[in-house]
Structure 1
Amino acid sequence: MDLPYDEVFDAIRDYLGYFDVHTNAPIIGNWDFSVAPLVYENEGDGSPSGEIKSWVLVILNSQLYGQQSIGGGIDAGDNRWDEDGTIWFHVFTPRGIGSREARRIAKGLANMFRGKTMLNDRLEFLDADMGAGDPGAENANYYLMSVSIEWRLIEAE
């Protein structure tokens, strides 16, 4: 049995850009990595340079799957099944400089998804929420502010 790749994760990562974990080569997307490099889940646990500077941890979670129709065919698998979830951007800025820079980065990331669709309009981005900052949650050197964006994939595969 061939296991599927996560098309939502791949679409978001391609849209934003990333560093190839095998070659460390930058794959250019729409996010400006000079503002704050993005680190995707399980690809690192801090600033890519090791310096104490702004960076963002990107995490994607989802609910698999919500049945949206009844009577679409012989068995339940023939119906429409949607997937929905949340993309989290955990913005880390150096501690002691205030929250303004963290808010700027968080809002910039959220704004990139406002009204955005992907995967032939099957993937849509919904409400965004900027949570309260939490100083030193990951590391005593950093201030953490998170922004989350709800998403829905229509007719998930």
Structure 2
Amino acid sequence: MSSPTAFDAIHDHLVARWAATDLVFENEDYQLPDVPAHFVYVEVFGDLLEQDTFGAPQNNEWLETGQVYLHVMTPNGTGSGEARTLARDLSYLFREQPLGSMHFREMSIGMGEPAKTFGNYFAMTLSITFDRRDVTVLP
């Protein structure tokens, strides 16, 4: 999983700027409505945390890399157009929008996770790669 710093920055950014659908984050309690409705399931995970500079102990820069998966869930059988539109609109929230020392790089609608059906829902995934510089001084 990603660092708390990366997760919190992405969480807060989405909550502040996205109102088109409900947002559901990992391991949150969410009751699906009786009539299927659009929502976005958010996963944030880190691939790597590595030392990027070599200097005095506890005075180095670390690089965290990871991905954000935004699974756009739409009612099954309604086509993929609305899911693609919502995924594109979500991508606009991260394009050229650094969050502190976090930068968002490659984005893909469908590459990281092909579209799938889950019961009454169809999932179209927007994958976003990020990197974040960390210069936290340890106690």
TM-score, scaled to structure 2: 0.85
Distance in 1 (CA, whole Å) between partners of 2:115 and 2:12 is 29
> Over aligned residues, Cα RMSD in angstroms?
1.9
**AA partner of residue 73 (structure 2):** F
Which structure 1 segments of 5+ residues have no match? 18-28
Query: Match of 2:84?
Result: 103
Aligned in 2, Cα 1:50/1:64: closer, same or farther, shift over 3 Å? Answer: farther
**AA partner of residue 112 (structure 1):** L
Distance in 2 (CA, whole Å) between partners of 1:45 and 1:147 is 21
The CA deviation string for residues 21-65 of structure 1, in whole angstroms up to 9 with x for no partner, is xxxxxxxx1111xx2211000003564x45311111000000341
Q: Offset of 1:14 from its aligned partner?
A: 1.2
Query: Match of 1:113?
Result: 94
Query: Match of 1:124?
Result: 103
**AA partner of residue 31 (structure 1):** W
Structure 2 residue aligned with 1:41, among 23, 26, 40?
26
Structure 2 residue aligned with 1:61, among 45, 49, 52?
45
Which structure 2 segments of 5+ residues have no match? none
Query: Match of 1:13?
Result: 11
2:138 aligned with 1:154, yes or no?
no
Distance in 2 (CA, whole Å) between partners of 1:51 and 1:14 is 28
**Rg (Cα) greater in structure:** 1
2:126 aligned with 1:142, yes or no?
no
SS at match of 1:117: coil
Number of corresponding residues: 132
**Which structure has more RCO (C-alpha within 8 Å, separation ≥ 6)?**
2
Which consecutive aligned stretches of 4+ in structure 1 deviate over 6 angstroms post-superposition?
A: none
Aligned in 2, Cα 1:65/1:99: closer, same or farther, shift over 3 Å? Answer: same
Q: Offset of 1:151 from its aligned partner?
A: 0.7
Distance in 1 (CA, whole Å) between partners of 2:87 and 2:93 is 10
Query: Match of 2:72?
Result: 91
